[in-house]
């Protein structure tokens, strides 16, 4: 009799006298765990497999339960089937196509003789709840490909037939049943029964061409979401409403920061106020460059295409670039700074004593994005990065990764962004260089992170074409992940440009090139940061830091003098002298998210004092002007996250 030994994450084992499934493993540990088990990871494969998957002798498993971060992904696979079942029970003439899980939810594409609207949602949700309440057992069968084709053909499900016919290398296909009657083609994973789906909601409906091809039939795409419990769903719906209020495009208009024009698609215009934010962020990074020993450089915008042929961009990135012809020569607009930095490095000889050699560049970049992909500031065609490149030895990679993480952590702390995750993105299919080089660079990144005890998740196949990378995913105030910072290890570009340094042995050696950014694209960062802060920028970053509000025209002279004094201290200040009521002017300043509102009336002018209203609604009266200047000046120079209240002892400070 064969024995199957299955290993758990703590390296303990379970032995079976038959080929077990993940559910069998869970049942051998305890009934509660078995009830909560939703799926499994096998041998550290990032893909979540179905709990019914047969395991092999020696497999190491990680059970995915209702408490796992990945629980909702499995729940949504099954909720998609429940939605499709509900639709077909309500309208048998509707045919189903595909229903994948996406970020924060799922969708199903239907071939329907009528147009779905949100008015249909109540009926669909009611029928879905009936299916959930029945707690139908979900089971998997593996059908021969021919049987599946014949079955779906007889049902009139031509889209399913087309999918299965394209699976030419598969002998069998997975079929999942909800109960005894309704079934669909699927790889899984799925929960044990429909009763495991505790909370769901239909969100929206849109048209979608079959397989994204406009020559194919138009389908009805119904978007929905599902969670392990109702509290999670309620929080998600709250966050969606909050996200509408925080939409950076809306805030950008209201605060007068940026605009777009149809004559320059995907290319933002930053106003005077928006440029303040842009320049202050660059100023923060320049301060950090000085602290972490970077040189700032300036490089050209347009290069002969020979540069991009050498760097590999012409072969691997051509469809994302802009080109022109000058003096019968082909030129390209740079999409990245790295090739020009290679030219800078290669323009002179270098010794090992000079390494690491760190250069930073705020140069303008241009990348062609398809019209449908552009979205406010977060997806544009022209932008600037806090971009830098480090040329170093292999032995210096670890220390440079550590230096990068310290720099990033300090920047994010100053900006009030403490929550981020690290992803190690490995070699893509379309790449430069040998597997040996990729093994070295991927190994260097993982070892450095492990030595620094920095937790990370492997993101297979998502590296740049020239090297693996660390992607820093910032989690914002609404718990949404955004990819901002990055560090990429590249041994291929130095090889392509034949870069070298003279080592201790007096021989030439090839440097390693590290590509890194902390904020990433400034345009994208500003969009993300506006939504994270809901437009309440820190005082040092606010376009207008102080608004002076007069109660009567009699104090205008005092207001003018105070404004001049604040400007001398390089504090950005405006004076609202309009003949409006004070409450109206305060409301206007609050809508503009002004950190400090200074109120001056006859009494204040007589005493040489002011009243200060902060944007959180708190008010401090009888503040001497000298104290006011010191207070605001200190908040700005210290880069505090919020205006301080000197009447409180504890203040939120960025660093």
Determine whether 160 is an active site residue. no
Per DSSP, the three-state class of 300 is coil
Q: Which structure tokens are listed for 431?
A: 């790449």
Of 338, 342, 392, 559, catalytic: 338
Catalytic residue check, 469 = yes
Tokens for 65?
């339960």
Q: How far is residue 490's CA from residue 446's CA, in Å, rounded to a whole number?
A: 14
Give 460-506 as a DSSP string: TT-SBTTB-EEEEEEE-TTS-EEEEEEEEEESHHHHHTT--EE-TTS
Tell me if 522 sits within 8 A of 280, measured CB to CB: no
Cα 597 to Cα 125: distance, rounded to the nearest angstrom: 49
CA of 120: how far to CAs of 416, 457, 508, 607, in Å? 43, 40, 71, 67
Task: Please confirm, yes or no, whether 385 is among the known catalytic residues.
Answer: yes
Assess whether 576 carries a catalytic annotation.
Answer: no
Among candidate residues 36, 111, 387, 635, the one labeled active-site is 387
Contact 356/396 with Cβ under 8 angstroms?
Answer: yes
Q: Give the span between the Cα atoms of 127 and 123, in whole angstroms.
A: 6
Q: For residue 569, indicate whether it is catalytic.
A: no
Secondary structure tally for the chain: helices H, strands E: 20, 34
Supply 529's token pair. Answer: 């940061």
| Active-site residue identified among 220, 385, 488, 545 | 385
Catalytic residue (choose from 389, 427, 585, 613): 389
* Cis before 630? omega within 30: no
- Please say if 389 is a catalytic residue: yes
Selected catalytic residue, list 313, 410, 515, 516: 515
Q: What are residue 421's DSSP bridge partners?
A: 473
Phi, then psi, of 218 in degrees rounded to 5: -85, 130
User: Which tokens is 574 given?
Assistant: 């405006």
Contact partners, residue 157, CB within 8 Å, separation at least 6: 95, 96
Catalytic residue among 236, 248, 341, 367: 367
Residue 392 has phi, psi (to 5 degrees) of -150, 180
Which one, of 586, 590, 572, lies nearest residue 635 by Cα? 572
The residue from 469, 572, 639, 640 that is catalytic is 469
| Residues 456 and 449 sit within 8 Å (Cβ to Cβ) | yes
Written as one string, the DSSP assignment of 60-75 is BEEEEETTSTTHHHHH
Biggest distance spanned by C-alpha atoms of the chain: 100
86: tokens are: 């509900």
Q: What are the CA-CA distances from residue 131 to residues 91, 94, 444 (Å)?
A: 15, 18, 51
Q: Is 597 helix (H, G, I), strand (E, B) or coil?
A: strand
What's the CA gap between 145 and 217, in Å, rounded? Answer: 25
Q: What is the DSSP letter of 196?
A: G
Active-site residues, by number, are 338, 367, 385, 387, 389, 469, 515
């Amino acid at each position: 009799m064969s024995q199957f030994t299955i290993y758990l994450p703590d390296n303990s084992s379970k032995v079976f006298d038959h080929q077990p499934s993940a559910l069998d493993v869970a049942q051998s540990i305890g009934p509660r765990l078995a009830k909560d088990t939703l799926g499994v990871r096998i041998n550290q494969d990032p893909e979540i497999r179905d709990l019914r998957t047969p395991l092999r002798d020696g497999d190491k498993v990680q059970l995915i339960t209702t408490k796992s971060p990945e629980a909702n992904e499995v729940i949504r696979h099954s909720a998609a089937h429940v939605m499709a079942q509900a639709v077909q029970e309500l309208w048998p003439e509707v045919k189903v196509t595909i229903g994948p899980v996406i970020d924060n939810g799922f969708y199903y594409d239907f071939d329907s003789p009528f147009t779905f609207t949100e008015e249909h949602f109540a009926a669909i949700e009611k029928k879905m709840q009936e299916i959930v309440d029945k707690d139908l057992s979900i089971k998997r069968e593996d059908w021969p490909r021919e049987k599946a084709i014949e079955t779906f053909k007889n049902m009139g499900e031509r889209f399913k037939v087309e999918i299965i016919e394209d699976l030419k290398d598969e002998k069998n296909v997975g079929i999942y049943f909800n109960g005894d009657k309704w079934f669909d083609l699927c790889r899984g994973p799925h929960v044990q029964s429909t009763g495991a789906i505790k909370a769901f909601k239909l969100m929206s409906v849109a048209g979608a061409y079959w397989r994204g091809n406009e020559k194919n039939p138009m389908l009805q795409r119904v978007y929905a979401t599902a969670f392990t419990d109702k509290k999670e769903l309620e929080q998600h719906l709250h966050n969606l409403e909050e996200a509408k209020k925080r939409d950076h495009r809306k805030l950008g208009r209201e605060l007068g920061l940026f605009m777009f024009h149809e004559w320059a698609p995907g290319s933002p215009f930053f106003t005077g106020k928006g440029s303040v934010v842009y320049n202050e962020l660059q100023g923060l990074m320049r301060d950090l460059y000085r602290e972490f020993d970077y040189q700032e450089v300036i490089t050209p915008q347009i290069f002969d295409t020979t540069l991009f042929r050498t760097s590999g961009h012409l072969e691997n990135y051509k469809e994302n670039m802009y080109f022109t012809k000058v003096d019968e020569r082909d030129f390209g607009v740079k999409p990245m700074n790295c090739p020009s930095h290679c030219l800078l490095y290669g323009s002179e000889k270098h010794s090992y004593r000079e390494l690491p050699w760190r250069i930073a560049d705020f140069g303008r970049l241009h990348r062609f994005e398809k019209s449908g992909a552009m979205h406010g500031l977060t997806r544009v065609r022209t932008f600037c990065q806090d971009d830098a490149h480090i040329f170093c030895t292999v032995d210096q990679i670890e220390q440079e990764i550590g230096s990068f993480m310290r720099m990033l952590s300090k920047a994010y702390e100053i900006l009030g962004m403490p929550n981020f995750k690290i992803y190690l993105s490995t070699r893509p299919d379309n790449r430069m260089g040998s597997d040996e080089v990729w093994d070295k660079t991927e190994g260097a990144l993982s070892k450095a992170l492990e030595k620094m005890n920095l937790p990370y998740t492997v993101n297979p196949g998502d590296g740049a074409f020239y090297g693996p990378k660390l992607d820093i995913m910032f989690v914002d105030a609404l718990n949404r992940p955004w990819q901002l910072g990055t560090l990429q290890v590249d041994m291929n570009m130095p090889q392509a440009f034949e870069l070298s340094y003279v080592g201790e042995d007096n021989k030439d050696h090839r440097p390693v090139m590290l590509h890194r950014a902390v904020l990433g694209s400034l345009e994208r960062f500003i969009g993300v940061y506006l939504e994270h802060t809901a437009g309440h920028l820190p005082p040092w970053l606010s376009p207008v830091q102080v608004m002076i509000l007069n109660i009567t025209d009699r104090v205008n002279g005092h207001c003018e003098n105070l404004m001049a004094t604040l400007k001398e201290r390089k504090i950005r200040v405006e004076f609202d002298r309009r003949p409006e009521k004070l409450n109206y002017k305060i409301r206007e300043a609050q809508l503009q998210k002004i950190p400090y509102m200074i109120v001056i009336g006859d009494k204040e002018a007589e005493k040489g004092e002011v009243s200060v209203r902060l944007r959180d609604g708190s008010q401090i009266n009888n503040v001497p002007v000298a104290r006011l200047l010191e207070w605001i000046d200190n908040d700005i120079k210290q880069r505090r996250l919020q205006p301080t209240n000197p009447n409180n002892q504890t203040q939120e400070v960025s660093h």
